[in-house]
Amino acid sequence: MITHLKSGHVYDPQNKIFNIKKDIYIEDGKIIDKKSIRSKIDKVINCADKIVMPGAIDLHTHIGGGKVNIARLMLEEFHNEADGNYDSSSIIAPSTIKTGLKYIEMGYTSCFEPALLPINARQAHAEMADIPFIDKGGYALLGNDDFFLSLLKNKASQSMINDYVAFILKATQSLGIKVVNPGGINAFKFNQRALNVDEKSKYYDITPREIVSKLTRAIYDLGVPHPLHVHCSNLGIPGNFLSTIETIKAANGLPIHLTHIQFQSYGNNGDRGFSSAAVEISNYLNKIENLTCDVGQIMFGQTVTMSGDSMSQHKNHKHAHPKKWMCMDIECDAGCGVVPFKYQDQSFVNALQWAIGLEIFLLAEDPWKVFLTTDHPNGAPFTSYPHLIKLLMDRSFRNDILNQLPEGILEHTILHTLKREYTLNEISIMTRAAPAQILGLKKKGNLSIGSDADITVYDKRKKDIEDMFAHPCYVLKDGHVVVENGRIKKYTWGKTHTVKPEYDKSIEKTLGKFFDKYHTMNLDNYIIKDDEMTRLVGNPIYVNDCKTKRKQ
Amino acid sequence: MANQNSTKNLVCPFCSLHCDDIQVKTNGKKYNVVENISCRKKIESYNINRHSNTYPLMKNKIISLSDAIKKIKDIVNSHKEILILNHGIELSGLRSILNFASQHNSIIDHINSKYLFQNIGVVQRTGYIATSLTETKNRADTIIVIGNKIFDKSPRLIDKVLLPKHSLCSNKNNRNVILIGNFPIKIQKEIKNRCKLTNIKIDLDLVPDLLKNLQKEKGKAIKGVSANTEIKLKNIISKSKYLVTTWAASDFMKNKKPEIIINSICGYIVNLNQTQRAACMPISGSLADVTSSQAMTWMTGFPSRIKHVSNSFKHDRESYDSENLISKKNVDLVLHISTISPDKIEINKKIKNIVIGHPNSTFTNQPDIFIPVGIPGIDYEGIMFRTDNVVSVALKDVRNISLPNSQSILDKLA
């Protein structure tokens, strides 16, 4: 079947196409060249007054895994949002089906779970398998597991660490590696309550800097496209911008991605001991070539925070709203914490957090280096993306909200002085082309011949940009029209994106012995095999290329 | 598929530890556990025997599978309120249950929901700090076990987790185990031989008072606990680097207020964490309850007791309680799904009952139709969740007795 998207105003940043009238042809789920068409065109969609972009990509959204399910379970009283098409789960902790439906309705076609605990990976993939429409993937958590820390303590070679990292990517069917509060989650298990970048953990005698340094090197050596995805030390603590900068330095110039950087950009100046350090962080972002970040914008309202960072979540439990929370130590592997939270516009701290996120967006000179996220649901549910886009594109709208925030907030933010308004070109970069590029998804985020036909078509005539991004006229997934004028036309099920760098298999022997002695499952069961992903988990994999082959 | 006369690795589906270190010898039809482990007999009891039913039955007479499916479809279509009662099934089967329920606007409940909701209740009321099996094995230096049936439900808990051969960060020979409740002498001896045991023989209703006392200078006297014992307990606990409390909610069900016992344990642990590290490890899930609650939660937002109404699943803990629904005849058809349960299935003869169950299923009364299906982890592969909620295991197959799996039957019925 051939589909023709006719005369759309196309935004395809990877191909340097911005608002150019173009035709797009689709066959068998791929974008094809008009010249290759041999049969009749089955469907023509008139896009004359439409904006056509690749399907959007969310590179950091908590959509699957143990902590997400704890939140769903904990917040039962919020599950009352039945609207005819969906189940009644709340958007702050949506069911898998609601997750898929809400994402596809907004034109998002690929989403990535950033905190896939290796030991919990089977569950995370099984959950994500039940999310309809979208392609997905995850970043495996390392840097707090006892095996890795033992390697570092015993001065294991970088090549052995590389082998372990590659093994984890394979065993957990992941696309990348994330480190959360490097070493801090493990230290919390030994009753350490804080761990700064150059502070040694009491048990392993290792600093977060060493962990970040070893892992960024491993990712680089293995040729994994996505740089180490880092949730820095000291999340949410006033003055943490300094440790954020030190974490950047720990990468020693190698590629590094800092996630939900808004939560890591706090100063401790002023009468309240809490201030914006967005300028300082943005200066680094703008000057360091190999540094990327996603923002983790907060929005006002009820949400739930969920994180692998049990150290910081335990600290945060005092702010829980409603008053309940959960933390967990997990399998000598990682941890997690779930704390419901309500961001309030009349709270000085929350208002400044809102402003800091926007400052970072607006101070970023290169939209290829900063990605639009709310760290769903930590900053806000992902359904607030259209509102966030409007905040970025419409200064007067932004300032109207800013002016309603607590008196005195203007003295603590430069937001009102930032005149910048994002363009559609920039939005298309930061929500499509840039995340595809940083994740190494060659067939996503662009409209090149041979790419996946994941395409979103917006109504150009809509005056309200938030409305336009919230309600695309058409969404195509793998060439199928799955949304038409806000209505679901067809259910499809995406695939799981992975990478599989080469490694020396002898690491499995070492690890097998460790599992036999210390774990409560065997290594063979820990590994999620490719065919298991299809037959049992329910999510076939797509293996993306690594940049380089393993160095011998 | 199992080979003739081979040794196979069994990932055990029959308790919530889901041990994956068990070897069985199998000729393809029968399997025997190689090692002399405490649950050997239980695992082997699922072998086909002279009482097994390997053919579909209607009113106790053998019928073909296709006829059975046809008959069930007719029954399903002629009944208004269908309850799917889950007695234990793996993930793929659960997905099919949800699919069936959404086609027929059915109610779903798990046979163990009442126990499950005790532990879920505390998550929904206050939350708590939890830990997992491997953390306990490698980090715990003090373990408080509350209630005495936990080792019946998870026979290898002592060997694999509480008193293991190896421990990464704690001195396994120096562990303190505090037993609260009335434990069998055999268990007490076994633990005493391997670590420091403190035995607190009290009525479990007194657990909240005991835990209160442990947080005060001086509390009210508790029957069965001397002042010296309290001091000893406080001393052990305050010196602990990583304390774990473990219990099975089902142990408290005969007590006056089980939720207060569980709340008090969780609250105590939360308080301890102000200055030291401690965590809870509830043990549950002997009938794949954890698998059910996990998968149902991610697919609907609710762990159990749901009904499909107007395109979405609604939850009501009272209205969709299977015991009430059956006893009050508020449903006219019960579809029992039972792939691992050793328990007799209650059949209320006043309503229609269909059982999709393993061949050794037993009933209080004969169901209207019975379809034998394979056992996940014995006859077919699948995924199940361990008691600690974070680990899921890939079940394997170790025999081939040519039975369909429950998923395929449910999909045909949907």
Give the domains, in start order, of chain A with CATH numbers. Answer: 2-54+448-488 (2.30.40.10), 56-439 (3.20.20)
Would residue B144 count as lying in a domain? Answer: yes
On whether any CB of chain B is under 8 Å from the CB of A92, the answer is: no
**Is 70 exceeded by the pLDDT of residue A173?**
yes
On whether any CB of chain A is under 8 Å from the CB of B338, the answer is: no
Helix (H) or strand (E) run with residue B343 in it = none
Model pLDDT, residue A381? 98
Q: Do B129 and A536 touch (CB under 8 A)?
A: no
On whether any CB of chain B is under 8 Å from the CB of A178, the answer is: no
Shared domain for B267 and B340, answered yes or no, is: no
Q: Do B390 and A119 touch (CB under 8 A)?
A: yes
Shared domain for B233 and B344, answered yes or no, is: no
- Smallest CA–CA separation between A439 and chain B, in Å? 26
Which residues of chain B make contact with A518, given a CB cutoff of 8 A?
A: 134, 137-138, 166-168
Is residue A76 within 8 A of residue B124, CB to CB? The reply is yes
On whether any CB of chain B is under 8 Å from the CB of A487, the answer is: no
Model pLDDT, residue B217? 81
Q: Do A84 and B303 touch (CB under 8 A)?
A: no
Q: Do B394 and A122 touch (CB under 8 A)?
A: yes
Helix (H, G, I), strand (E, B) or coil at B144: strand
Model pLDDT, residue B310? 82
Shared domain for B107 and B122, answered yes or no, is: no
What is the average pLDDT across A358-375? 98
Looking at the structure of chain B, the number of domains it has is 2
What ipTM does this complex have? 0.97
The CA distance from A433 to A54, in Å, is: 8
Shared domain for B106 and B239, answered yes or no, is: no
**Is 90 exceeded by the pLDDT of residue A80?**
no
Shared domain for B269 and B307, answered yes or no, is: no
Q: Final residue of a domain: which of B282, B302, B322?
A: B282
Model pLDDT, residue A85? 63
Model pLDDT, residue B2? 44
What is the average pLDDT across B349-360? 97
What is the average pLDDT across B240-249? 97
Q: Please, which residues 45-64 of chain A have a Cβ atom closer than 8 Å to chain B?
A: 64
Shared domain for B163 and B269, answered yes or no, is: yes
Instruction: Reply yes or no: is the peptide bond before residue A377 cis, omega within 30 of 0.
Output: yes
Model pLDDT, residue A449? 98
Which residues of chain A make contact with B279, given a CB cutoff of 8 A?
A: 328-329
Among B128, B298, B312, whose Cβ lies nearest the Cβ of A96? B298
Q: Do B132 and A329 touch (CB under 8 A)?
A: yes
The CA distance from A300 to A267, in Å, is: 21
Q: Which residues pair with B354 in a beta bridge?
A: B335, B369
* Both tokens assigned to B293: 């609650």
Would residue B325 count as lying in a domain? Answer: yes
**From the candidates A520, A533, A537, which should be mutated to test the interface with B, based on the most B CB atoms within 10 A?**
A520
On whether any CB of chain A is under 8 Å from the CB of B274, the answer is: no
**Is 60 exceeded by the pLDDT of residue B259?**
yes
Which residues of chain A make contact with B298, given a CB cutoff of 8 A?
A: 64, 68-69, 72, 95-96, 127, 130
Among B160, B294, B301, whose Cβ lies nearest the Cβ of A123? B294
**Is 80 exceeded by the pLDDT of residue B191?**
yes
Nearest CA in chain A to B11: A525
Would residue B42 count as lying in a domain? Answer: no
Q: Final residue of a domain: which of B267, B282, B297?
A: B282
Shared domain for B306 and B366, answered yes or no, is: yes
- Smallest CA–CA separation between A265 and chain B, in Å? 28
Q: What percent of chain A has pLDDT over 90?
A: 97
The CA distance from A97 to A214, in Å, is: 38
Q: What is the mean pLDDT of chain B?
A: 95
On whether any CB of chain B is under 8 Å from the CB of A66, the answer is: yes
The CA distance from A249 to A236, in Å, is: 20
**A94-130 tens-digit pLDDT:** 999 999 999 999 999 999 999 999 999 999 999 999 9
Nearest CA in chain B to A72: B301
Which residues of chain A make contact with B169, given a CB cutoff of 8 A?
A: 146, 190, 203
**Is 60 exceeded by the pLDDT of residue A299?**
yes
What is the average pLDDT across B338-346? 97
Shared domain for B231 and B340, answered yes or no, is: no
Nearest CA in chain B to A119: B391
Which residues of chain A make contact with B273, given a CB cutoff of 8 A?
A: 314
On whether any CB of chain B is under 8 Å from the CB of A326, the answer is: yes
Which residues of chain A make contact with B127, given a CB cutoff of 8 A?
A: 74, 317, 320, 324-326, 338
- Smallest CA–CA separation between A451 and chain B, in Å? 31
Per-residue pLDDT band at A88 (split at 50, 70, 90): confident
Per-residue pLDDT band at A81 (split at 50, 70, 90): low
**Is 80 exceeded by the pLDDT of residue B314?**
yes
Which residues of chain A make contact with B311, given a CB cutoff of 8 A?
A: 82, 84-86
Phi-psi region of B338 (alpha: psi -120 to 50; beta: other; left: phi over 0): beta
On whether any CB of chain B is under 8 Å from the CB of A414, the answer is: no
Dihedral of CA A384/A389/A391/A396: which sign?
Answer: negative
The CA distance from B6 to A394, in Å, is: 70
What is the average pLDDT across A273-284? 97
What is the average pLDDT across A55-64? 98
Q: Which residues pair with A73 in a beta bridge?
A: none
Shared domain for B122 and B262, answered yes or no, is: yes
Would residue B150 count as lying in a domain? Answer: yes
**Is 80 exceeded by the pLDDT of residue A548?**
no
What is the average pLDDT across B259-272? 97
Shared domain for B270 and B367, answered yes or no, is: no
**B274-295 tens-digit pLDDT:** 999 999 999 998 899 999 999 9
Among B127, B276, B302, whose Cβ lies nearest the Cβ of A191? B276
The CA distance from B109 to B13, in Å, is: 20
| Domain that includes residue B229, residue range | 116-282
Would residue B76 count as lying in a domain? Answer: yes
Report DSSP state, residue A201: P
**Is 90 exceeded by the pLDDT of residue A83?**
no
Helix (H, G, I), strand (E, B) or coil at A181: coil
Is residue A473 within 8 A of residue A107, CB to CB? The reply is no
Shared domain for B205 and B97, answered yes or no, is: no
Q: Final residue of a domain: which of B245, B260, B282?
A: B282
- Smallest CA–CA separation between A264 and chain B, in Å? 25
**A511-531 tens-digit pLDDT:** 999 999 999 999 999 999 999
CATH label of the domain that carries residue B200? 3.40.228.10
DSSP-derived pairing of the beta strands A228-231 and A176-180: parallel
Model pLDDT, residue B311? 82
The CA distance from A326 to A337, in Å, is: 6
